[in-house]
Structure 1
Amino acid sequence: MTDHTLSAAFVPGTSEPQLVMPAAPPLWHTVAMIWALLVGVGAAMLANGVQGPLFGVRATIEDFSTTMTGIVIAGYFVGFALGSLVVPTLVTRVGHIRVFAAVASLISIATILPPVFVNPWVWTLLRVFIGLGYAGLYIVAESWVNDAAPNANRGRLLSIYMVISLACMAAGPLLVNLADPGGFVLFILASALVSAALIPVLLTVRPAPRVEAPSKMTIFDLYRNSPLAVIGGIGNGLANGAFIGLSVVYAQRLGYSVSDSALFLTVGILGAGILQWPLGYVSDRFDRRLIITLVVFAAAGLAFAATTFDMRERSTAMVLIFLYGGTMIPLYSLFLAHMNDHLRQDQMVAAASGFVLLVGTSAAFGPVVSSWLMDRFGDSSFFGFQSVVLIATGGFAIWRMTQRSGVALEDQTSPLYVSRFSSVAAASAMEIAQENDTDEDAEEVRN
């Protein structure tokens, strides 16, 4: 990790040692050092944005049942959870670049095979491999970004990384319009984009960071520290998995074209990207539990509205999707920040890793349950399921507010601006801990 160690020195005109920190390199210099990684991540996120809705659209074309489609979609989240367990160990053994190359190759192979083997169970297995691969890409990329930046620039660099990721993820579904989803071309395109992501990374001259295997915290440890973060993470995972995984299938069942169905997902991600920062900003200045509760019920209300409004009316649907994505998806960041409010600095990284696994595992159940409900009770069950989950989460938040007093505003950690479960949570937690350590070091020098 970039070293910017504090030191004490006597400054002329003073009688006490003053805090001296080496000047951090400008942000553009740090970005220039990792441009290859950022380009590679952008290409991989475009591919992820394509393959997700493509599986849903193609499953509809192949006449898979909605329940079976949900199982196929859930395979990605199962793989992601598995990847979050096994990839960190691989990185410590063989290094970032080899793991990046291996998982990108795995994704490329698994993405190009579905048109060859048109079978829902084969597709489910391929989705598991894709999810595992993307977990590896995220872990490698985000730990690399975190290592490249000094404390003074790390937050902004992670923000640039997230903007690139969100922009490419939002643009990806629109690429489904480039060819017939019933053919081979789009699968080849997604596979080629992942392969292209390898080129700049493998040719980079910057050495990869050193990695140490993270410590672990069990789900019970997390719950003892912050029950609301755990239950909220489960609820957010269920709703997020259903929405991200099945929104294209839902739109097609309503009669939307392939292009408009893909737009459903794009609009939701854009809403998250635009509203995430304001929600985090507000949560920093008030009791975070209160803001979480209000946002949860706002998302639940929007989901319920989607069950009562005519979602075949395009403009109404797009407004609701934008607002729903903008409130539901950022809850991940708010719950993660709330969890950190109740942790010691040395617990943050392990807790963030456990939180990623918790939400990822929960997300695997979202598409399965939601698709079964849609088959049994109709299309309105898509948002109905998410509304019930969010209402239950909000009710638990209200109950928790009666059981424990809130954290003082000055002790609340900064919200982590991430909109999906990924290792950037752990990287950001590490950043917060390091910044707090820096503050303590500064205080010790002054004293």
Structure 2
Amino acid sequence: MRTVLGSVGTLLLSAAILLAGGGLLATLVAVRADGEGFPLEAIGLLTSGYYAGFMAGCLATPFLVKRVGHVRVFAALSALTAAAVLFHVIAINVPVWFVLRILTGFAFAGLYMLIESWINEQTPNEQRGQVLSIYRMVDLGAVTAGQFMLTLADPQGFVLFSVVAICVCLAIFPISLSTSKAPMAVTTTSLNIKKLLKTVPLAGVGCFAVGLANGSFWALAPVFVRQLGHPVVVISLFMSIAIATGALLQWPVGFLSDKFGRRKLIIAMSALAAGAGYFLWHYSPQSVMLMLVGGALYGGFGMQLYGLSAAHANDHAEPHEFVSISGGLLLIYGIGSIIGPSLAPFVMSAFEPSAMFAFTGVVHAMLMLYALYRRVQHDGPEKPKRFVSMPRPRSMMAILRADPRVKRPKKPKKTKGAELDNL
């Protein structure tokens, strides 16, 4: 294991720096947009633009890698990201920021995919589960650190955008000096969404619902806290608590789903997430403590549903279908993440900031009812396979190939004089 960590250590360091910058940027854009007086609908639209760009980046990156190689694509996308981040403070208006969020989503999708595929390539099959667990810890720690970086300077200034750009640029340094060989090109996978929804409709509906609810959360939760009159440190604390509890409950929820079945846990987590939304809607305006408790409840319950939905789909799949099915679920999640942030602002504008969680509560309640319906209608018993916890939905295929249940294809033998991807 020490040898493996030695080979992926620099890659994990690059991932940590990039994730910290990405975590900071997501919250910073929402807070700064609210401070600039952007309408709630516009702030939601910015996040929809990010997810649209992200989906495009997931699909386009494999073709770019085949064309010029991993290192060149990583450098190009890093430059695009840094430029887009800094341009936020040069032109502050909704149309320009919408384009910048599309570009940023496109670039971050490629960067995440490249790092994750590289880590996976350097990991032997028998140790992939352990390395994936370490990656989860890096993911959680880095994104949480990014939330607290929000307190380093005034979000209305240029410093924090510069910090994000610095993080993106610094992420190039370890990966450029790594002695690890560049991986094979990330391959695309054919996606049959119609077949997926016919075979495991609950998984598809679950991922769409998660996109609606969690896409709205990432887009508007910082605005919700800010509009309740709390300082930046409370925004970072609220987001960090939700992220941390969501990660910490992955293992016990996965264990329970292995024992009692996915549908029962989807029903339970949906009901509890709906309750957490109701709690935040009614009690978060009363005190900071109640708001933080509500954030912990939402993160603990609402952020389990993607993993449970993906596990439910994989229970009905053969090992060679895991990547295809998971890619389809990520696409459905992305569609929900585009729609959700566009709808939730209208609820907040019509009622109050905390009404955003009335929106997420309705989404989770509808998912619970659909899961109950599927449980009654389904004839056969569930036969869950071993639950494999995954990081937050991010890249299209790369991290899914680190799933220890998936057998990777053998590397082709290098021909004499083959061009090396290390320039």
Structure 1 residue 224 displacement after superposition: 1.7
Q: Is structure 2 residue 365 aligned with structure 1 residue 388?
A: no
CA contact (8 A) 2:250 2:389 kept: no
Q: Structure 1: which amino acid aligns with 2:157?
A: G
Which residue is 2:8 aligned to? 34
Structure 1 residue 160 displacement after superposition: 0.6
Q: Give distance in 1, aligned partners of 2:380 and 2:338.
A: 32
What do you get for the CA RMSD once the two structures are aligned?
A: 1.6
Give the one of 72, 77, 81 matched to 2:46: 72
Q: Give distance in 2, aligned partners of 1:320 and 1:230.
A: 27
Identify the range of structure 1 (66-75 vs 37-46) with the bigger mean alpha-carbon deviation: 66-75
Among the aligned pairs, what percent are the same residue?
A: 33
Structure 1 residue 331 displacement after superposition: 1.3
Q: Is structure 2 residue 271 aligned with structure 1 residue 311?
A: no
Give the one of 420, 432, 436 matched to 2:405: 432
Q: Give distance in 1, aligned partners of 2:115 and 2:252.
A: 26
Q: Is structure 2 residue 183 aligned with structure 1 residue 206?
A: no
CA contact (8 A) 1:352 1:425 kept: no
Which residue is 1:144 aligned to? 118
Give the one of 76, 79, 89 matched to 1:105: 79
Taking structure 2 as the reference length, what is the TM-score of the superposition?
Answer: 0.92
* CA 1:169–1:406: 2 relative to 1, 3 Å: farther
Corresponding residue SS for 2:91 = coil
* CA 1:208–1:308: 2 relative to 1, 3 Å: same
Give the one of 372, 382, 385 matched to 1:412: 385
CA contact (8 A) 2:53 2:106 kept: yes
Which residue is 1:54 aligned to? 28
Q: How does 1:81-92 map to 2 (within 5 A)?
A: 81-92=55-66
Structure 1 residue 108 displacement after superposition: 0.9
Q: Give distance in 2, aligned partners of 1:319 and 1:28.
A: 39
Deviation string, structure 1 residues 207-264 (Cα, Å, up to 9, x no partner): 1111352321222121022100000000001111011111100001111112212222
Q: Is structure 2 residue 311 aligned with structure 1 residue 337?
A: yes
Q: Give distance in 2, aligned partners of 1:285 and 1:428.
A: 24
Q: Give distance in 2, aligned partners of 1:48 and 1:166.
A: 12
Q: How does 1:260-409 map to 2 (within 5 A)?
A: 260-405=234-379, 408-409=382-383
Q: Give distance in 2, aligned partners of 1:302 and 1:143.
A: 35
Structure 1 residue 77 displacement after superposition: 1.1
Q: Give distance in 1, aligned partners of 2:135 and 2:380.
A: 32
Corresponding residue SS for 2:88 = coil
Corresponding residue SS for 1:182 = coil
CA contact (8 A) 2:116 2:399 kept: no
Q: Give distance in 2, aligned partners of 1:128 and 1:373.
A: 24
Structure 1 residue 320 displacement after superposition: 1.3
Q: Give distance in 2, aligned partners of 1:286 and 1:418.
A: 23
CA contact (8 A) 2:200 2:316 kept: yes
**Structure ID, larger Rg:** 1
Identify the range of structure 1 (311-320 vs 294-303) with the bigger mean alpha-carbon deviation: 311-320
Deviation string, structure 1 residues 47-103 (Cα, Å, up to 9, x no partner): 011111111111122111111111122221111111111112222332222222222
Q: Structure 2: which amino acid aligns with 1:215?
A: T
Structure 1 residue 199 displacement after superposition: 0.6
* CA 1:89–1:406: 2 relative to 1, 3 Å: farther
Structure 1 residue 414 displacement after superposition: 2.3
Structure 1 residue 407 displacement after superposition: 5.1
CA contact (8 A) 1:72 1:121 kept: no
Give the one of 166, 175, 195 matched to 2:169: 195
Which residue is 1:227 aligned to? 201
Identify the range of structure 1 (70-79 vs 221-230) with the bigger mean alpha-carbon deviation: 70-79
* CA 1:105–1:279: 2 relative to 1, 3 Å: same
Corresponding residue SS for 1:215 = coil
CA contact (8 A) 1:272 1:419 kept: no
Q: Structure 2: which amino acid aligns with 1:420?
A: P
Q: Is structure 2 residue 109 aligned with structure 1 residue 135?
A: yes
Q: Give distance in 2, aligned partners of 1:261 and 1:312.
A: 16
Deviation string, structure 1 residues 338-358 (Cα, Å, up to 9, x no partner): 111111222111111222122
Which residue is 1:159 aligned to? 133
Q: Give distance in 1, aligned partners of 2:195 and 2:118.
A: 28
Q: Is structure 2 residue 143 aligned with structure 1 residue 185?
A: no
* CA 1:230–1:101: 2 relative to 1, 3 Å: same
Deviation string, structure 1 residues 289-335 (Cα, Å, up to 9, x no partner): 11111111111111112112143411111111012111111211111
CA contact (8 A) 1:330 1:418 kept: no
Taking structure 1 as the reference length, what is the TM-score of the superposition?
Answer: 0.88
Give the one of 88, 105, 108 matched to 1:114: 88
Structure 1 residue 425 displacement after superposition: 5.1
Structure 2: gaps spanning 5 or more residues: 409-423
* CA 1:163–1:405: 2 relative to 1, 3 Å: farther
Q: Give distance in 2, aligned partners of 1:434 and 1:245.
A: 36
Which residue is 1:168 aligned to? 142
CA contact (8 A) 1:101 1:198 kept: yes
* CA 1:268–1:196: 2 relative to 1, 3 Å: same
CA contact (8 A) 1:83 1:136 kept: yes
Q: Give distance in 2, aligned partners of 1:115 and 1:343.
A: 47
Q: Give distance in 1, aligned partners of 2:381 and 2:400.
A: 21
CA contact (8 A) 2:186 2:398 kept: no
Q: Structure 2: which amino acid aligns with 1:76?
A: Y
Deviation string, structure 1 residues 170-210 (Cα, Å, up to 9, x no partner): 11021111111111111111101100000111111111111
